[in-house]
Structure 1
Amino acid sequence: MEQSTALAARVDHWARVRPLLVDGLLAGLIWLVFGLLSVLVGGLTGLVVASATILPLAVRRRWPTAVLAWSVAIFVIQLGVLPIPLPGNIAQALVIFTVAAHVASLPVRLCALGTALAGSLAAGFRWSTEPEYTRNALVIAAFLAIFAGLIWLIGNVVRGRETNTRALREAYAKLAESQRQRERFLAQRERVAAAREIHDIVAHSLTVVIVQADGAEYAAEHAQPWDRTDARTVLATIARTARTALSEVRDVIDVLRDPEAADDPAGSSVGLADLGQLVAAVRAAGLPVEVHADPAVFEETPAAVGFAVLRVVREALTNVLKHAGAQATARVVVEREPAAVRVHVEDDGVGRDDGVAPAGPGHGLAGMRERLRALDGVVLAGPRPSGGFGVEATIPVAARSARR
């Protein structure tokens, strides 16, 4: 059954893309059958009239109105020269069907119907015979009119089906284009999210590396004597930070290659230990950090919330390292509330002169806000009245679905 349906669909497609060829073959076939039979009925005159009626069917769908006018003219001539119908008159029924099925103008279609009815009446009186001439004429006219009307109605039904099919094809094309646009949008959003993640990872790691390298350079130049233990500690911190950054960047790339990995519960969990490692790296860079974190934040909330907390703390501490000054200290508080998680990161450094954090999509606090927006969270940031800078993030626990 499926093979038959597929074959019919292929044949229909082939016929649609070659209308002139199909109509030419149809006209030739009708002429071979009904045109030649007209010789038996009307002789040579019947053959000429039938040929003039049938052969224009080869262009019936290209010029339906012109073929209709030609068919009417030939039929009038036939009524004048022949007192009998011809087998070739079947072509005129096909012309009526063509106009009804392929002409969009309602007046033209109604004209075709009116012409067919008038022709039916004229043919009835022309082809009627005695002894009951009038009765026979009306019977013939009624039969031809009913036949022509049915052909006209079938053509209109086909035209409606073609119109609906065309509308469905256009709607499908629009749907396909909308789907492609959605896929492009999702791909763009994935790239933006990856760029934001990589920015945060690289910015934090390079900040730690730069602080360590600057400290080591200063110590190498001014400290007497050079302490190998301190040098080894600095280099170990730099290496550890670089390896961690490389691993996290690879994780982001893996998620881009396999988006389903981002939804894997086994690979998408963070805990208090991750926060501890982050703070330890910042402390190793020379920034004293005080931490108060509720373990329930990571144990009793979705993984997406835990990741968001970690990202907020990392971005805030990175900004402290870059902008707070050499003598600054930081304080991190992560609290679990009934309906949300709150993150406070404060420092007592000098901060920026203008008190404004860097802006721009995917950078600094703007990237943090974008990330939390996916979880219905908000971020407030600005200078503290007592000095320094503060960041406060609120993340609903019952957040809508978000990406890692």
Structure 2
Amino acid sequence: MKQRTFLAARVDQWSREHPRLLDLTLAGLMWLVFGPLSALAGPLAFLIATAAILPLAVRRRFPTAVLAWLATVFAVQLMLVPVPLPANIAQAIVVYTVAAHVASLPIRLLALGAALTGSVLAGFRWSTPPEYMANVLTNAVFLGILSVLVWVIGDLVRGRQANVSALREASARLEESRLQRERFVAQQQRVVAAREIHDIVAHSLTVMIVQADGAEYAAEHARPWDRADAGKVFATIGRTARSALTEVRGVIEVLRDTDADTETDADTGGPEEPHGAGLGIAELRRLVDSVRAAGLAVDVDAEPAVFDDVPAAIRFAVLRVVRESLTNVLKHAGPHATAHVVAARKQGWIMVRVEDDGVGVRRADAIADHVSEPGYGLDGMRERLRVLGGVLEAGPRRGGGFVIDAATPVTVPSPSARPAGLATPSGGTGRSGE
């Protein structure tokens, strides 16, 4: 049901929406009323009244010009007409208009000065004996006070309009800021989703490619062909593909769930990961088993309580780092490489090391990969840990191979906190994952 408004409110709204029509209507009505009344003083008075009233139709479009015109008309009136006219109200309206709608302070003060000067001159012109000076003083003071009041009211209206405009601009800026924040959150969610899908697909496809290549080689060269081995290969491929599909669907469901809390978390800088409560040592070992099934020999040295009382987002990030690191070993370390995973807690930090004894990757190739795919691989792992307050360092290992060291706080630390004992491997950043 539409709320009813007062007549005055509706008139005010109409006048704000149609200011020019309002001025034209006001000028016409004033001329119909005060024109004939001023004509009682003679034809010349009627002409002066008409010249004073009709310009009010454009008073808001040309306030300064109308002020100058009415000052001239008033001067002519003082010289030719010895009495005040009802049309003199037009001068008061113009003083109000200039005070309310002109931004220039000198012009507004000029209007006030002209009104006060006219009040004094009118006091001398329209006063009569026998107490002439007393009448002059009374008329000048009365007209001067009236002029000041009209000017002050107009100036207050102008200040109110300026405040309303400032509030509207502030509201528009706040709305734009809110929209920008929503766009930023949406963009951040897309980046997080792209990173998660990249990690899932890269790891799963690497495992499947290794298995498929091994099966192809065995089918062409091995004698006799072992059906049981072939079954294991295809079972691993199918299991890896189904797991990847499930994880990708989980990420998409989080993006589609508009009722879920998708706002950026103040501590982690990203949306909470789905199904994080069950991540732990068992998930780490399943991850390692899937890599072993792809043909990579992996040793795991993880404390049983390394993930106890650790937030789900941190556990998720640590497991993603391990998975991405082992995926890189599969792709870059060579066919006979072995990997070693260490996970431990030290002084409130979860320390993870993934190293291999493979052939590594040439620095030029690593730089090219790093430039061509920004935000993925090592950069993606660093970003994942950075929003949690962690760090990651990677580079060639002494004696051959590659090593990745990662440290993540059990609880999000202050920005100045850094783990003790995390040394940068010699050689700097080397391999960029895909």
TM-score (norm 2): 0.86
CA–CA distance in structure 1, aligned partners of residues 97 and 129 of structure 2: 35
Question: Are 2:392 and 1:379 equivalent residues in the alignment?
Answer: yes
Tell me the SS of whatever aligns to 2:307. helix
Aligned-pair Cα RMSD in Å? 2.4
Is contact 2:211–2:233 with CA below 8 Å preserved after alignment?
Answer: yes
Please point out which of 279, 285, 299 is paired with 1:290.
299
Deviation at 1:201, TM superposition (A): 0.9
Q: Residue type of the partner of 2:38? A: S
State, as a whole percentage, how many aligned pairs show the same letter. 63
Question: Are 2:280 and 1:271 equivalent residues in the alignment?
Answer: yes
CA–CA distance in structure 2, aligned partners of residues 305 and 396 of structure 1: 8
Deviation at 1:342, TM superposition (A): 0.7
Question: Are 2:33 and 1:20 equivalent residues in the alignment?
Answer: no
CA–CA distance in structure 2, aligned partners of residues 341 and 307 of structure 1: 12
CA–CA distance in structure 1, aligned partners of residues 59 and 194 of structure 2: 61
Q: Residue type of the partner of 1:38? A: S
Listed as ranges, the matches of 1:301-316 within 5 Å are: 301-316=310-325
Is contact 1:60–1:95 with CA below 8 Å preserved after alignment?
Answer: yes
* Shift in CA distance, 6/311, structure 1 to aligned 2, threshold 3 Å: farther
Is contact 2:204–2:244 with CA below 8 Å preserved after alignment?
Answer: yes
Is contact 2:123–2:139 with CA below 8 Å preserved after alignment?
Answer: yes
Please point out which of 331, 335, 338 is paired with 1:329.
338
CA–CA distance in structure 1, aligned partners of residues 6 and 401 of structure 2: 73
Question: Are 2:409 and 1:396 equivalent residues in the alignment?
Answer: yes
CA–CA distance in structure 2, aligned partners of residues 318 and 75 of structure 1: 92
* Shift in CA distance, 265/98, structure 1 to aligned 2, threshold 3 Å: same
Structure 1 residues 165-205: Cα deviation after superposition (integer angstroms, max 9, x where no partner)? 22222233233223322222222222222111111111101
Q: Residue type of the partner of 2:352? A: V
Structure 1 residues 216-269: Cα deviation after superposition (integer angstroms, max 9, x where no partner)? 001101111211111111111111111111111111222222362566798332
Tell me the SS of whatever aligns to 1:299. coil
Deviation at 1:48, TM superposition (A): 2.7
Deviation at 1:4, TM superposition (A): 6.3
Structure 1 residues 350-372: Cα deviation after superposition (integer angstroms, max 9, x where no partner)? 11133847424221111111111
Higher mean C-alpha deviation, range 228-237 or range 72-81: 72-81
Aligned equivalent of 2:417: none
Aligned equivalent of 2:431: none
Count of matched residue positions in the alignment of Structure 1 and Structure 2:
399
Is contact 2:82–2:126 with CA below 8 Å preserved after alignment?
Answer: yes
Deviation at 1:15, TM superposition (A): 3.4
Q: Residue type of the partner of 2:53? A: I
Question: Are 2:345 and 1:346 equivalent residues in the alignment?
Answer: no
TM-score (norm 1): 0.92
Tell me the SS of whatever aligns to 2:306. helix
CA–CA distance in structure 1, aligned partners of residues 46 and 357 of structure 2: 108
Aligned equivalent of 1:168: 167
Aligned equivalent of 2:199: 200
Listed as ranges, the matches of 1:74-89 within 5 Å are: 74-89=73-88
Is contact 1:195–1:362 with CA below 8 Å preserved after alignment?
Answer: no
Aligned equivalent of 1:213: 212
Is contact 1:374–1:400 with CA below 8 Å preserved after alignment?
Answer: no
* Shift in CA distance, 372/9, structure 1 to aligned 2, threshold 3 Å: farther
Structure 1 residues 35-57: Cα deviation after superposition (integer angstroms, max 9, x where no partner)? 34334x42544433222211111
Is contact 2:96–2:153 with CA below 8 Å preserved after alignment?
Answer: yes
Aligned equivalent of 1:191: 190
Aligned equivalent of 1:142: 141
* Shift in CA distance, 6/182, structure 1 to aligned 2, threshold 3 Å: farther
Structure with greater proportional helix content: 1
Deviation at 1:7, TM superposition (A): 8.8
* Shift in CA distance, 132/167, structure 1 to aligned 2, threshold 3 Å: same
Mark the runs of 5 or more structure 2 residues left unpaired by the alignment: 263-270, 415-434
Is contact 1:346–1:391 with CA below 8 Å preserved after alignment?
Answer: yes
Is contact 2:272–2:313 with CA below 8 Å preserved after alignment?
Answer: no
Question: Are 2:376 and 1:363 equivalent residues in the alignment?
Answer: yes
Aligned equivalent of 1:37: 37
CA–CA distance in structure 2, aligned partners of residues 283 and 116 of structure 1: 96
CA–CA distance in structure 1, aligned partners of residues 189 and 272 of structure 2: 17
CA–CA distance in structure 2, aligned partners of residues 123 and 6 of structure 1: 41
Deviation at 1:6, TM superposition (A): 9.9
CA–CA distance in structure 2, aligned partners of residues 31 and 387 of structure 1: 101
CA–CA distance in structure 1, aligned partners of residues 77 and 405 of structure 2: 95
Q: Residue type of the partner of 2:324? A: E
